[in-house]
């Protein structure tokens, strides 16, 4: 039996090139780069502060919401299906926003 060899150092990560297959996003391209993005169980979300838009993917389709008048600072989901967001005026439900 041959003795174990030491592990080789990990190769440094390289930035993803713009336009590459792995750089594709799930939200509409015209929204640009999100200010905040994340996921909770089956939901993915991306908030675009400059465009006042919130994109939410529920696993079946992507919905775009008008977030005008809101400054969103964070997101949460207690059950993995109902998304709430934090503003300076407190926590709000996703259903309080209008679909675009």
Residue 66, domain extent: 32-99
Cα–Cα distance between 35 and 46 in angstroms, integer? Answer: 7
| Residue 5 placed within a domain | no
| Residue 9 placed within a domain | no
Strand partners, 52: none
Write down the pTM of the prediction: 0.74
Contact 90, 98 (CB under 8 A): no
What pLDDT score does 22 carry?
42
* pLDDT tens figures, 57-77: 988 999 999 999 889 999 988
| Residue 64 placed within a domain | yes
Q: Would you call 19 exposed, middle or buried from its count of C-beta atoms within 10 A (0-12, 13-18, 19+)?
A: exposed
Q: Is the pLDDT of residue 54 over 60?
A: yes
| Residue 40 placed within a domain | yes
Sign (positive or negative) of CA dihedral 80, 83, 86, 91: negative
| Residue 87 placed within a domain | yes
* pLDDT tens figures, 80-90: 678 999 998 89
Contact 68, 52 (CB under 8 A): yes
| Residue 93 placed within a domain | yes
| Residue 11 placed within a domain | no
The total domain count for the chain is 1
């Amino acid at each position: 039996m041959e003795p174990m060899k030491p592990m080789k150092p990990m190769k440094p990560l390289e930035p993803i090139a713009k336009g590459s297959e792995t750089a594709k996003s799930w939200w509409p391209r015209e929204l640009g780069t999100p200010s905040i993005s994340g996921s909770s169980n089956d939901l993915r979300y991306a908030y675009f502060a400059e465009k006042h838009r919130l994109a939410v993917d529920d696993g079946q389709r992507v919905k775009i919401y008008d977030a005008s008048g809101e400054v969103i600072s964070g997101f949460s989901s207690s059950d993995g299906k109902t998304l709430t967001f934090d503003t300076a005026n407190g926590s709000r439900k996703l259903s309080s926003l209008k679909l675009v």
